[in-house]
Structure 1
Amino acid sequence: MATSWGAIFFVLMIACVGSTVFYREQQTWFEGVFLSSMCPINVSASTFYGIMFDAGSTGTRIHVYTFVQKTAGQLPFLEGEIFESVKPGLSAFADQPKQGAETVQGLLEMAKDSIPRSHWKRTPVVLKATAGLRLLPEQKAQALLLEVEEIFKKSPFLVPDDSVSIMDGSYEGTDGHTFRSACLPRWLEAEWIFGGVKYQYGGNQEGETGFGPCYAEVLKVVQGKLHQPEEVQGGSFYAFSYYYDRAADTHLIVCDNLESFTSGSPFLCMDLSYITALLKDGFGFADGTLLQLTKKVNNIETGWALGATFHLLQSLGISS
């Protein structure tokens, strides 16, 4: 059945920075990874765990994943996840790093309760901080990370090198400079203060706004700068996290209505334009590629924390 460009455009627009797309090589592969019933725990299975902290701007979240591997060399199965979070995030303790680290300590106690004592020494623990710490002055951010690292070292868990780090990112519009974009409504003038730094942003005062000029802006960020996997030329794909969220939130926002747009979410045009450019011009998806949207698989939310844990276990030789 032929697929209209409108439908394709809707599918392409349901992604954003920090989201995840998974390639599904065959119809049953992805479900198999997450169906615990397909890999029941038994005497011949190997069970292992991974702890991933997501230190975001609004809170600190802990993911305790349980994996089962029936045979060495086979793909491990995700058996379950225990999730907990605390507010505010670490960045709120910029001037009280020890107090901030104590919030991580509390979450670690929960991990100890959920992982068998016999597995503690071979269960890796990692914290990755995102925008919150990245926007703090470097000295304050490092003080927080050092305190968290000390908490990890005192724990019974496996602490790999670089167990505490800030994920890569970039930002513009600091030190009084106003970031302006054709992707924002022309009338928009706003500021955001974080970590003692004022960020100012707004729409273009002159020139065009809307999808066309906005798309041209985001192309500068993604075109020719991303690896294009061969798999994007065929097969089915799952889209998670913010891909799903934006699809649920926007109901196909038309960017050329910016002049009359008065929503409390002025970044929708920018988000959706970036989504389209990222998938089509960045990763190289064809116009006819369809994405299967989902928030969770078997009640387990799928995002970067799970993918990072898979990679961590492989790099440590815990999962072959």
Structure 2
Amino acid sequence: MNLLATRNFRVVMALVALLTVALILVTQRKQLAASAPHIATVHTPDVFDSAPGDEPSAKLPEGNTPPYPKQDALKADKLNDAISADKLPQKPQDVAETKADAKTKPVAETKPVAETKPESAKKPASGDCEQYVIMIDAGSSGSRVHTYKFDVCQSPPLVLAEDFKMLKPGLSSFDTDAEGAANSLNPLLDSAVAFVPKHLQACTPIAVKATAGLRKLGEEKSSAILSAVRSHLETKYPFAVVEGTDGIEVMDGSDEGYYAWITTNLLLGTIGTAEKEATAAVFDLGGGSTQIVFEPKPDHPVAKSDMERKFEFGGHTYSLYEYSHLGYGLNEARNKINKAIVTNFGTEKLTKHQSAKQAEAAAADNVEITNACLPPNTETTKVVEFGKDEYYHVKFVGGKSHSGGLCRGLVESIFAKDAECNVGPCSFNGVHQPLLSKSFDKHGDMFVFSFFYDRTNPLGFPSDFTVEELRDLARDVCGGAESASVFAKEAQEELNKEPFWCMDLSIITGLLHTGYDIPLAREVKTAQKIGGFEIGWCLGASLPLLESKGKNWKCRA
């Protein structure tokens, strides 16, 4: 018994010793962990950024659930992409780059990336290398200022930062009030003053380029507004106003698309590379016009010289097809459809007004006109323009049931696909265009932006989608209350704000498929920004100003 007790005692003591050692090790590990520096989780934003404060401002659903349940053609993986996926084409080595690094690379080499670094990680320009450029986009729906900071000691120049601000209404809305139009730009100009260091303001070129809104206003009124804008800039603000028509002008529609193509492909990094790469096609949709620019395959050349533009960059030559369809922007397309509906109804019982402002101020006629592009059992009022000095303020109502097919028919009619095509092939309204299905790489990127983005993103739609999926989205929106359950709460709130969502989505679907002949199964991409910079023509149009110092602009004394 004594021997057994002694052995038991030794076993117990050994176990106690082992437990003591284990306890000491655990305690030391906790102390080391507590004293070690903690690394915060890095937020990884979507490469397709949205600018804070830009309209529309709908919040996307959080988490990994789709914004609305899976429909016939809306694949769940596509919907999840809207929230978390980086869909831009990348090479393997690009994935490791950060957004801050991408911003400090030459524009021609910038690639969209997944992570972001603090502002301090940017490498600032120094001394004479730092150059700012201010570009004001005076569109039909509103005005926007883009203030860019460049490092011009690099080749090509580094775009380091961008300050962006927008406001409504556009310059054209001021009609004969030229001074009011000029003064409306003050908030944008004040933003630029705050962004550009004071000692560099006198050597910062500024240009104002108006688009479809002023084109439509006519030569006399648009010239008066632009003259007032130039005088306002030269007398009230410190910047170097670009001389001649290049500085303050009504921009040619083809230039919009051309510079937007340059901007997009610079930010994607598909131009300015050692080896020539496939480039992205660009489709812009403004309020008054829409632009298409792409690089056709060599065996499908552009048949009309006035629709072709040569672009030389980085030792490569790009032969581009470009065209601006004036009158086919979203607002103008809306009016075409509404005008057709009112014409079919008849104007005899309606009150004719001399101007849009006069019509807007007057009460809508107490006559209900059925509009197939409104969801069932909805109503709204709208000023419809028939031409100079002829406007009607009408009351539109939706039908008693879903009428998406009738709406599609109205939309397709405005594209005049049966118009005479003198030089084929043609897209719509008799305009020559190489067929995208044959002349553009079937794997190439197609980027659609501006109103294409504004009418899909607030509904939680993915950043890349097929035209068929877009058509199905339009179908659901046009269903009104019958289809409301397929949309998230945030999307329903957006739809309730604007009765013309059905018409707008039908228009953009018709423009891509019926107008531009993009197949239903073809995927397109939409974005507001790439790599932190706004898509659009402004960056592309700003680059020539870096080379023209002393030519068409000079530092102010």
| TM-score using structure 2 length | 0.41
Q: Secondary structure at the match of 1:233?
A: coil
Q: Counterpart of 1:313?
A: 543
- Structure 1 contact 210–256 (Cα < 8 Å) conserved: no
Is it true that 1:276 corresponds to 2:509 in the alignment?
Answer: yes
Alignment of 1:190-209 (within 5 A): 190-192=381-383, 198-199=391-392, 209=405
Q: Counterpart of 2:443?
A: 234
Q: Counterpart of 2:192?
A: 111
Q: Secondary structure at the match of 2:181?
A: helix
Q: Counterpart of 1:164?
A: 248
Query: Which residue of 421, 431, 436 maps to 1:225?
Result: 431
Alignment of 1:9-88 (within 5 A): 27=91, 35-38=102-105, 40-42=123-125, 46-56=129-139, 59-68=142-151, 71-72=154-155, 74=156, 76-85=157-166
1:56 deviates by 4.5
- Structure 1 contact 66–80 (Cα < 8 Å) conserved: yes
Is it true that 1:184 corresponds to 2:414 in the alignment?
Answer: no
- Structure 2 contact 334–503 (Cα < 8 Å) conserved: no
Q: Counterpart of 2:208?
A: 127
| Greater radius of gyration (CA) | 2
Distance in 2 of aligned mates of 1:138 and 1:188: 37
- Structure 2 contact 149–162 (Cα < 8 Å) conserved: yes
Q: Counterpart of 2:529?
A: 296
Distance in 2 of aligned mates of 1:7 and 1:26: 25
Distance in 2 of aligned mates of 1:44 and 1:134: 41
Q: Counterpart of 1:144?
A: 225
Distance in 1 of aligned mates of 2:153 and 2:522: 34
Distance in 1 of aligned mates of 2:341 and 2:101: 43
1:234 deviates by 2.1
Distance in 2 of aligned mates of 1:140 and 1:99: 13
Matched AA of 1:180: I
Distance in 1 of aligned mates of 2:90 and 2:170: 39
Structure 1 residues 199 and 122, CA gap change in structure 2 (3 angstroms)? farther
Q: Counterpart of 1:254?
A: 475
Structure 1 residues 191 and 315, CA gap change in structure 2 (3 angstroms)? same
Distance in 2 of aligned mates of 1:315 and 1:150: 20
Q: Secondary structure at the match of 2:456?
A: helix
1:108 deviates by 3.1
- Structure 2 contact 372–404 (Cα < 8 Å) conserved: no
Structure 1 residues 197 and 83, CA gap change in structure 2 (3 angstroms)? farther
1:144 deviates by 2.0
1:64 deviates by 0.7
Matched AA of 1:108: L
Q: Secondary structure at the match of 2:161?
A: strand
Distance in 1 of aligned mates of 2:101 and 2:333: 39
Distance in 1 of aligned mates of 2:216 and 2:103: 39
Q: Counterpart of 1:18?
A: none
| Cα-Cα RMSD | 4.9
Deviations 1:229-250 (A, max 9, x none): 7555323344443223222345
- Structure 1 contact 129–166 (Cα < 8 Å) conserved: yes
| TM-score using structure 1 length | 0.65
Distance in 1 of aligned mates of 2:204 and 2:372: 44
Is it true that 1:6 corresponds to 2:73 in the alignment?
Answer: yes
Deviations 1:112-158 (A, max 9, x none): 44334665566432223356555657644432221002223445314
- Structure 2 contact 412–514 (Cα < 8 Å) conserved: no
- Structure 1 contact 46–68 (Cα < 8 Å) conserved: yes
Distance in 2 of aligned mates of 1:123 and 1:83: 16
Q: May I ask how many residue pairs the two structures share in their alignment? A: 295
**RCO (CA 8 Å, sep 6+): is it higher in 1 or 2?**
1
Distance in 1 of aligned mates of 2:499 and 2:139: 22
Q: Secondary structure at the match of 1:6?
A: coil
Matched AA of 2:249: S
* Comparing 242-251 and 117-126, the one that deviates more: 117-126
* Comparing 153-162 and 184-193, the one that deviates more: 184-193
- Structure 1 contact 211–255 (Cα < 8 Å) conserved: no
Distance in 2 of aligned mates of 1:275 and 1:172: 10
- Identity between Structure 1 and Structure 2 (%): 23
Matched AA of 1:36: K
- Structure 2 contact 528–535 (Cα < 8 Å) conserved: no
Distance in 2 of aligned mates of 1:59 and 1:241: 12
Q: Secondary structure at the match of 1:78?
A: strand
Q: Counterpart of 1:245?
A: 454
Q: Counterpart of 1:19?
A: none
1:109 deviates by 4.6
Distance in 1 of aligned mates of 2:397 and 2:101: 43
Structure 1 residue runs without a partner (length 5+): 12-23
